């Protein structure tokens, strides 16, 4: 089992390159199966979730050619099995994107019930409601979700809640359905727009992605394309908060500042300066962060995936802050771990009341999920002394080379796999 070991207390300085958006890439890779021609995709992050999906795609017969670490060629013409069975798929939430893609193209799909982070109940009723409205039959059997149809037809679908996954999945299924589909109360996240742009570059007719009404005119087939995935706004935000909590000054390259507005505005409330450039942002931390309040909301609101990183910042800010989680009910599981580092946080339902402390002290903590794990790493970067973060498997689902990128900003952090390596690190950092 690997861990991160961190000697904290060093302000981060320098420049960091942000990778492609994991959550956009997962849907885009699934959608690449929808044409029989070869699709080239780059700016792909090299993270566990992506590699699990690629493995599952090979399992159903997709031909994948790795061009380099961040680029692949995908050919879905040889898909001959609509049952996705890979063990690794059960662990990732986005396995369900193969449901929309395969149902859309072949009118048939069977995918393991989605896994992923344990941050709440995470049902997929809205996905299934959309498929049914288009004429599909759906059922859950022996841990699989099965969807099939003779033909799919356009439909008018009103989502009961704003769901990124349901919006993208219905959009994929509708692209080759007969007639027109309208999705109302659609999610507006940048990766919804990215998936729509990708599908349109393959010949789909999708309008309105990025607003709450998406209209899709069905087409008979899709064709090849070359596509570059958008930068990861959550990876970027994680580095921005890392600069804030360590009292640092960093520049992030390969970002779309517009996608970071909710994060930037909270950093400014914390007292940071945020400078925006064409495809870069610079974050300069104050000598002491100021407390504030935050509530997670669908885009363009403050992202739930940045909530733990924001809470870590508030936990060493001056004053009392309130964090309200309105998307996932189980997203404060890191609070006990943060308390080991000296934080003072009280959770009541979906609200956390945080009394800022002067500093964190290093401790041994364990990552409860992907984003909370990253938040504990940035807490470790700010803490006095040594922090060890266990269960970094979760973190590596969504962050490529997190340790190396922080090292590039001057942090003392290493990935270790044994007590001996931990001792070696301790001796080295003194």
Backbone angles phi, psi at 257, to 5 degrees: -55, -35
DSSP H stretches of helix in 60-144: 97-106, 125-133
In the structure encoding, which two tokens stand for residue 38, read together? 């070869």
Among 13, 73, 108, 122, binds ligand UD1 (CB under 6 A): 122
Tell whether residue 175 is a contact of ligand UD1 (CB under 6 A): no
Tell whether residue 146 is a contact of ligand UD1 (CB under 6 A): no
If one counts every other C-beta atom within 10 angstroms of the C-beta of residue 150, the result is 8
Tell whether residue 304 is a contact of ligand UD1 (CB under 6 A): yes
Please, are residues 230 and 194 in contact by the beta-carbon 8 Å criterion?
yes
Minimum CB distance to ligand UD1, residue 206 (Å):
18
Tell whether residue 43 is a contact of ligand UD1 (CB under 6 A): no
Nearest to 197 by CA among 60, 398, 43: 43
| Site residue total, ligand UD1 (CB under 6 A) | 22
Minimum CB distance to ligand UD1, residue 371 (Å):
8
Tell whether residue 161 is a contact of ligand UD1 (CB under 6 A): yes
Among 194, 305, 396, 403, binds ligand UD1 (CB under 6 A): 305
Minimum CB distance to ligand UD1, residue 247 (Å):
28
User: Distance between CA atoms of 246 and 341, rounded to whole angstroms?
Assistant: 15
Among 23, 197, 238, 313, binds ligand UD1 (CB under 6 A): 23
| Whole-number Cα distances in Å, 273 to 239, 247, 277, 279, 413 | 14, 11, 13, 17, 26
In the structure encoding, which two tokens stand for residue 27, read together? 């849907």
DSSP structure string for 331-354: --TTHHHHHHTT-EEEEETTEEEE
Task: Give the strand order in the sheet containing 63-68.
Answer: 63-68, 71-75, 38-42, 226-228
Among 8, 165, 231, 308, binds ligand UD1 (CB under 6 A): 165
Minimum CB distance to ligand UD1, residue 93 (Å):
5
Binding string, 308-337, against ligand UD1, x = CB under 6 A? -------------------xx---------
Q: Which residues contact 339 (CB under 8 A, 6 or more apart)?
A: 345
Minimum CB distance to ligand UD1, residue 420 (Å):
36
Query: For ligand UD1, which stretch binds (CB under 6 A), given 2-10, 82-90, 116-124, 403-411?
Result: 116-124
Minimum CB distance to ligand UD1, residue 200 (Å):
19
Tell whether residue 94 is a contact of ligand UD1 (CB under 6 A): yes
Nearest to 303 by CA among 272, 270, 263: 263
If the CB atoms of residues 155 and 250 are measured against ligand UD1, the closer one turns out to be 155
Please, are residues 322 and 347 in contact by the beta-carbon 8 Å criterion?
no
Could you tell me the sign of the dihedral formed by the alpha carbons of 294, 298, 299, 304, in that order? positive
Residues in the chain: 430
Tell whether residue 260 is a contact of ligand UD1 (CB under 6 A): no
- 117 is known as an active-site residue: yes
Peptide bond before 300: cis, by omega within 30 degrees of 0?
Answer: yes
If one counts every other C-beta atom within 10 angstroms of the C-beta of residue 26, the result is 27
One of 26, 53, 101, 117 is an active-site residue; which one? 117
Residue nearest to ligand UD1 (CB): 165
Among 15, 65, 78, 123, binds ligand UD1 (CB under 6 A): 123
Minimum CB distance to ligand UD1, residue 188 (Å):
11
Residues annotated catalytic, as ranges = 117
Binding site for ligand UD1 (CB under 6 A): 23, 26, 93-94, 120, 122-127, 161, 163-166, 187, 303-305, 327-328
């Amino acid at each position: 089992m690997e861990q991160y070991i961190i000697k904290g207390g060093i302000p981060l300085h320098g420049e960091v390159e942000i990778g492609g958006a994991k959550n956009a890439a997962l849907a885009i890779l699934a959608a690449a199966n929808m044409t029989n021609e070869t699709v080239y995709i780059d700016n792909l992050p090299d993270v566990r979730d992506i590699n699990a999906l690629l493995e599952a795609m090979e399992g159903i017969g997709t031909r994948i050619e790795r061009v380099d670490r961040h680029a692949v060629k995908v050919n879905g013409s040889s898909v001959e099995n609509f049952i996705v069975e890979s063990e690794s798929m059960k662990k990732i939430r986005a396995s369900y994107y193969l449901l929309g893609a395969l149902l859309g193209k072949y009118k048939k799909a069977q995918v393991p019930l989605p896994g992923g982070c344990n941050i709440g109940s995470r049902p997929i009723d809205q996905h299934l409601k959309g498929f049914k409205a288009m004429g599909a039959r759906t059922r859950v059997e022996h841990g699989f979700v099965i969807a099939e149809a003779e033909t799919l037809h356009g439909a008018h679908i009103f989502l009961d809640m704003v769901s990124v996954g349901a919006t993208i999945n219905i959009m994929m299924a509708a692209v080759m359905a007969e007639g027109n589909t309208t999705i109302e109360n659609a999610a507006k996240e940048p990766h919804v727009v990215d998936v729509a742009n990708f599908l349109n570059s393959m010949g789909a007719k999708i309008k309105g992605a990025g607003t709450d009404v998406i209209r899709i005119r069905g087409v008979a087939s899709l064709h090849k394309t070359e596509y570059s995935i958008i930068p990861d706004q959550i990876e970027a935000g994680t580095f921005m908060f890392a600069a804030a909590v360590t009292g640092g000054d960093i520049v992030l390259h390969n970002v779309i500042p517009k996608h970071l507005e909710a994060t930037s505005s909270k950093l400014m409330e914390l007292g940071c300066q945020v400078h925006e450039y064409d495809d870069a942002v610079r974050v300069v931390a104050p000598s002491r962060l100021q407390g504030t309040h935050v509530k997670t909301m669908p885009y363009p609101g403050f992202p739930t995936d940045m909530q733990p990183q924001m809470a870590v910042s508030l936990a060493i800010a001056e004053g009392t802050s309130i964090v309200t989680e309105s998307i996932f009910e189980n997203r404060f599981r890191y609070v006990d771990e943060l308390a080991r580092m000296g934080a003072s946080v009280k959770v009541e339902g979906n609200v956390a009341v945080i009394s800022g402390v002067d500093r964190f002290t290093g401790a041994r903590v364990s990552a409860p999920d992907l984003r909370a794990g990253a938040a504990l790493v940035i807490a470790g970067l700010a803490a006095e002394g040594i922090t060890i973060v266990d269960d970094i498997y979760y973190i590596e689902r969504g962050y490529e080379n997190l340790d190396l990128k922080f090292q590039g900003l001057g942090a003392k952090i290493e990935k270790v796999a044994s007590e001996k390596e931990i001792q070696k690190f301790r001796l080295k950092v003194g």
